[in-house]
Amino acid sequence: MKLALIGVGLIGGSFAAALRAAGVVGEVIGYDPDPRAVALAAERDIITRSAPSATEAVRGTDLVVIATPVGATRASLAAIADALTPSSIVTDVGSTKASVIDDARDTLGSRLQRFVPAHPIAGGERPGVENADAALFRGRLVITTPTPQTDAEALSTVETLWRAAGARVERLDAAIHDEVFAAVSHLPHVLAFTLVEMIAAGEDAAIRFAHAGAGFRDFTRIAASSPQMWRDVCLANRTALAAELRRYRARLESLQRAIDTSNGVELERVFGVAAAARRNGDSAKGEDQLIRPD
């Protein structure tokens, strides 16, 4: 199988490396606007050849993996649409899915049925093809979000490839995917970014950061993520994220009222529901049970 990799970073590079290691992919043609990423991927034998453009990269390939930031998906799809062979399968790795499906619908025309939207869940690693790892997806979850138009054989091929890379595969409706990740990933990032920015912008930033303990560092670790990548995610999943943020702000308003009026019963109720849910989640994942305040 001959693969075109559009966007040569951590995720695309790791997927290509895993597929080559599994022996299911031979040639990999890479394109990235950053020539250093392409050179490094060639040096690490993750790609076998580079192309001067996305259009050129996909010619004659069986599978195209769009692994750019979500905000660049539409342009990449538009660039490759006319160079695809009728049997080519196109897939992506974006953190949001409805926007990517819209992008595909607007750019791929009749080839839309060969597009398989996918989201490998693999956060917490450092970005860049220099950190690509054929073992990155072992035991990880990959979500596919086929549309009614998605070709069953194309879907099955992409899912088989992810399994060959060691991942578990689950299918979800794109809208549900986007709502779920708005709540458990995108909103937490926005909340952490906003807190750190608020403290950083204050006059007393130095003394505050100097006294930040382990709890603060855990809570705000995700605020060290790429600002550009998260701007793209927030814009691409704008509708679901805006709804979750609105719900969250309504709850904070009610918490504010409880604090202002010293309503200990309500505070303990909210904290109790959260602590029970959080500890259940942790026991399922084998983490510690209870943490005392800083």
42 to 71, contacts with a copy of itself by CB under 8 A?
Answer: none
Q: Which of residues 145-184 bind a copy of itself (CB under 8 A)?
A: 176, 179-181, 183-184
Nearest to 170 by CA among 181, 179, 178, 159: 159
Instruction: Give the C-alpha distances (Å, rounded to integers) separating 2 from 31, 49, 52, 181.
Output: 14, 11, 17, 32
Site track for a copy of itself across 214-233, x = CB under 8 A: xxxxxxxxxxxxxxxxxxxx
User: Which of 23, 152, 204, 286 forms a contact with a copy of itself (CB under 8 A)?
Assistant: 204
Between CA 13 and CA 42 the distance in angstroms is 10
Piece of 26-34, 42-50, 109-117, 212-220 that binds a copy of itself (CB under 8 A): 212-220
Q: What is the DSSP letter of 148?
A: T
Q: 240-259: which residues touch a copy of itself (CB under 8 A)?
A: 241-242, 245-249, 251-253, 255-256, 259
For residues 22 and 180, which CB has a smaller minimum distance to a copy of itself in the complex?
A: 180
Using the 8-state DSSP alphabet, how is residue 83 labeled?
Answer: G
Residue 75 in the binding site for a copy of itself (CB under 8 A): no
**Residue 138 touches a copy of itself, criterion: CB under 8 A:** no
Cα separation, 35 vs 51, whole angstroms: 10
- Which window, 57-65, 78-86, 105-113, 201-209, contacts a copy of itself (CB under 8 A)? 201-209
Q: Is 109 in the site for a copy of itself (CB under 8 A)?
A: no
Give the residue with the Cβ less far from a copy of itself, 126 or 148.
126
**CA dist., res. 173 & res. 150, Å (int):** 12
Please say which residue, 109 or 276, places its beta carbon nearer to a copy of itself: 276
Rounded to a whole number of angstroms, the minimum distance from the CB of residue 195 to a copy of itself is: 7
Residues in Cβ contact with 228 at an 8 Å cutoff, skipping those fewer than 6 apart: 69
**Does the protein bind a copy of itself through residue 98 (CB under 8 A)?**
no
6 vs 154, which CB is nearer to a copy of itself? Answer: 6
3-state secondary structure of 2: coil
Tokens of 192: 């952490």
The answer to whether residue 135 forms part of the interface with a copy of itself (CB under 8 A) is no
Q: How far is the CB of 186 from a copy of itself (least distance, A)?
A: 8
**Which residues, 11 to 40, sit near a copy of itself by CB under 8 A?**
11
Torsion of CA 49, 55, 58, 63, to 10 degrees: 130
Q: Encode 50-80: b = buried (16+ Cβ within 10 Å), e = exposed.
A: bbeebbebbeebebbbbbbbbbbbbebbebb
Size of the site for a copy of itself (CB under 8 A): 105
Please give the helix or strand (H or E) that residue 189 lies within, else none.
helix 187-201
Does position 136 bind a copy of itself by CB under 8 A?
A: no
